[in-house]
């Protein structure tokens, strides 16, 4: 059994979590790949973490990962499993993914909270009930 992680990570750099495709964040950048091994016969096993146990795209991601791994030279078959003994956390994000997913600035970078909110906060649209008042 050999560590196939470097080869697998390189190949999976083009497989995207459907929720992050528009931001260009791959399953590798998300930190979803926990391990990858290959035996002498070219059978490869990849362990993935999910960001949520309720991920509606899990089956799709598993299929895409398996197809991508099978395309790696020397791989004859690919088994892709979700592992549940380790929870995914944002600590697994690559620096680039963390930057792309940062929704709010670091509080230390906002000297005037009220001014920041005045520029960036959009009030919720009025409901029909509120408009009739």
Alpha-carbon distance 56 to 1, whole Å? 32
Alpha-carbon distance 64 to 28, whole Å? 13
Strand partners, 38: 2, 44
pLDDT tens-digit readout, 46-82: 999 988 877 777 788 899 999 999 999 999 999 999 9
Q: Among residues of the chain, what percentage have pLDDT more than 70?
A: 87
Strand partners, 116: none
pLDDT tens-digit readout, 3-56: 777 888 899 999 998 888 888 999 999 999 999 999 999 999 999 998 887 777
Q: Which domains can be identified in the chain, with CATH numbers?
A: 2-120 (3.30.300.130)
Q: What is the pLDDT of residue 70?
A: 95
- Spatial CA neighbour of 100 closest among 113, 109, 90: 90
Residue 116 has pLDDT above 90, yes or no: no
Q: What is the pLDDT of residue 130?
A: 54
Q: What is the pLDDT of residue 125?
A: 67
- Spatial CA neighbour of 5 closest among 61, 13, 41, 55: 13
Average pLDDT, the chain: 85
- Spatial CA neighbour of 17 closest among 52, 45, 69: 52
Exposed/middle/buried for residue 120 (C-beta within 10 Å: 0-12, 13-18, 19+): exposed
């Amino acid at each position: 059994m050999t560590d196939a992680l470097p080869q697998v990570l390189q190949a999976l750099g083009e497989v995207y979590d459907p929720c992050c495709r528009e931001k260009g964040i791959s399953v590798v950048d998300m930190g979803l790949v926990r391990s990858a091994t290959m035996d002498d016969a070219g059978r490869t096993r990849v362990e993935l973490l999910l960001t949520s146990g309720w991920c509606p795209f899990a089956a799709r991601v598993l299929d895409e990962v398996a197809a991508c791994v099978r395309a790696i030279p020397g791989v004859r078959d690919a088994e892709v499993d979700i592992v549940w003994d380790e929870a995914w956390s944002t600590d697994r994000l690559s620096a680039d993914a963390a930057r792309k997913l940062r929704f709010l600035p670091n509080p230390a970078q906002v000297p005037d909270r009220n001014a920041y909110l005045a520029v960036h906060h959009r009030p919720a649209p009025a409901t029909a009930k509120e408009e009739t008042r």
